[in-house]
Amino acid sequence: MSNLTNQLISNILFWLSRKKWLVIAFFISVSLFYVETPEGLTSDAHRTLIIVVTALILIVSESIPLPAIAMLILIMEVVLGVDTADGVASSFMSDAVFFIMGSLMLAVAIVHQGLDKRLALSIINVTGNKTWRIAFGFVFFSALMSSFIGEHTVAAMMLPVALALLRYSGKKPHQTSNLSSLLLFSIAYGCALGSIGTPSGGGRNAIMIGYFSEFNIARISYWDWIKYAYPMMLIEVPIASSILWLTFKPKKKILDSAVRKLKVSVAKDGKLSSNQVLSIVIFIFVFFSWIFFSPSIGLGIVALMGVFFYLSFRLIDWQDLTRRTNWGVVILFGSVISLGIQMNETGAAKWLADSILNSLSNSIVDPSNLRWFFSVIVSGIMTNLLSNAATVAILGPIVLEMGGDPIILGMSTSIASAFAYLTIVASPTCMIIYSTGLISSKDYIKAGWKLFIISITLLLLISIFYWPILS
């Protein structure tokens, strides 16, 4: 009996030691509930902020599964009386959530076609066998493709190409080197840069577009976004390549035998299959639909159209699709976006924005110029700690209430959330390259801080000199 009790207590203590952040979040939220509502904040807004704090602690600590966090947010919204059950349900699903769901499913469908070998051949044919050209090619092609089909799709397809080159150049599994860091970071940073280029580059862009329209600020089309963001992406590609080359200069300056072996290995696969051709055609259709139809039918619906065709033409089975789609992320973003909308509707976002501006004006001379720095730096830091879409979903409503030009602030926040260069958990792309075991967590800081600072500077210059011309 005493053994059983001890075992039960031990199990509880183990649970508490693993879930300590859940316990901390619980006590913080209870304490905040009993704190007197600050002046200027409505009771609903106060309670919304309690949910925001709880959600942020749980997302960063990952002490409970993501879908559980999502459900907790929805439950708290209703139980704390922020909105009715129907109100929460309707804010849970939006075109941005459709887009996140559709793009994750499109990623699965595209990766499933096994186009990576074709891709490898195309890239190598363009770059040749010089290492610097290959690294530049990796950054460029990763950025180019991820700007249209999303970063993790590209990372999953590019990873075997990099590993093949490393293996064929004589590297053993687990053998780390500057060459492995150079090639893998070229993929990760290329994908991150590319994801700012178009709304379909990442779910966060769709979330910001959703907020622009939900809060009656502006209707930004797919093409408008490209005009704003694509030039920055193109400028950053050579900068990122140079930083990576200087940080991880490899001993081997030419990868001739690796490239030869890669070509031989890829050549075995023969020509493109009809399914592969069809899948490319469907994606091109989706891309043009995003440009021409998304202003009227929404980005999410276009993505779902793509999924519809992939399923209808049997290019992927529903079982394969559903097994590989990260539903936890879809549900979580649905609830975080719902929370963002509540932040706006209850006035919590406005109160936070005003409080931030007031505190800045106490310590620094002119707060109006610092709105931009606040949005970009907080977004850049948050994205490296949680996820870029969650960053935009939470931070978006606040920066859009800060005054000044909301489009510039919103676009800057969304773009800065792509500066996920510094940590492993910053984005799925960073995790994908880390999971190879070929790079250490210190490598992220080594190259990442330089690119982080340059990206912020470049974003500042573009928002001062280029964006005003567009508007």
Partner 1 sequence: MNVLIAISSKHHSEPTLKAGMKVANAFSASSTVLEVGEKINEFSMKEVYMARERIESWNFDRPGVDVLEWAFNYLCKEKLINDSSIERGFPKNTLVENSSRRSEVFLEKGKAKNISLIIRNGDIIEELRNEVQSGDYDVTVLGGSKSGNLSFDMVQYIESSIFIVKNFQTKKKNKILLAVDSSKGSKKAIKHCVGIANAFNIEVEIITVTQDVKLKKANQNITEYASKFLRRFNIKNKIIFEEGNPVDVIPKKAGNDHILVIGSSSRGPIKTFFQSSTPIKILKKCNCPILVVK
**Least spacing, CB of residue 457 vs partner 1, in Å:** 28
Lay out the site mask for partner 1 across 336-375 (x = CB under 8 A, - = otherwise): ----------------------------------------
**Least spacing, CB of residue 109 vs partner 1, in Å:** 11
- Secondary structure of the chain in HEC code, one letter for each residue: CHHHHHHHHHHHHHHHHHCHHHHHHHHHHHHHHHCCCCCCCCHHHHHHHHHHHHHHHHHHHCCCCHHHHHHHHHHHHHHCCCCCHHHHHHHHCCHHHHHHHHHHHHHHHHHHCCCHHHHHHHHHHHHCCEHHHHHHHHHHHHHHHHHHHCHHHHHHHHHHHHHHHHHHCCCCCCCCCHHHHHHHHHHHHHHHHHCCCCHHHCHHHHHHHHHHHHCCCCCCCHHHHHHHHHHHHHHHHHHHHHHHHHHCCCCCCECHHHHHHHHHHHHCCCCCCHHHHHHHHHHHHHHHHHHHCHHHHCHHHHHHHHHHHHHHCCCCCHHHHHHHCCHHHHHHHHHHHHHHHHHHHHCHHHHHHHHHHHHHHHHCCCHHHHHHHHHHHHHHHHHHHCCHHHHHHHHHHHHCCCCCCHHHHHHHHHHHCCCCCCCHHHCHHHHHHHCCCCCCHHHHHHHHHHHHHHHHHHHHHHHHHCHHHHC
Interface with partner 1 (CB under 8 A), residue from 4, 17, 274, 442: 17
435 touches partner 1 by CB under 8 A: yes
Stretch that binds partner 1, among 7-15, 83-91, 213-221, 227-235 (CB under 8 A): 7-15
10 touches partner 1 by CB under 8 A: yes
The single residue listed with the structure tokens 């779902």 is 304
Interface with partner 1 (CB under 8 A), residue from 105, 143, 149, 157: 157
Interface with partner 1 (CB under 8 A), residue from 75, 132, 176, 328: 328
Stretch that binds partner 1, among 59-67, 125-133, 369-377, 443-451 (CB under 8 A): 59-67
**Least spacing, CB of residue 85 vs partner 1, in Å:** 27
- 18 or 260, CB closer to partner 1? 18
- 302 or 332, CB closer to partner 1? 332
Lay out the site mask for partner 1 across 376-415 (x = CB under 8 A, - = otherwise): -----------x----------------------------
Interface with partner 1 (CB under 8 A), residue from 41, 56, 101, 107: 107
427 touches partner 1 by CB under 8 A: yes
Stretch that binds partner 1, among 85-93, 166-174, 248-256, 366-374 (CB under 8 A): 166-174
**Least spacing, CB of residue 361 vs partner 1, in Å:** 36
Interface with partner 1 (CB under 8 A), residue from 432, 447, 456, 462: 432
**Least spacing, CB of residue 286 vs partner 1, in Å:** 19
Interface with partner 1 (CB under 8 A), residue from 55, 56, 57, 66: 66
Binding site for partner 1 (CB under 8 A): 6-7, 9-10, 13-14, 17-18, 62, 65-66, 104, 107-108, 111, 114, 116-117, 152, 155-157, 159-160, 163-164, 167, 172-174, 265, 324-326, 328-329, 387, 424-425, 427-432, 434-437
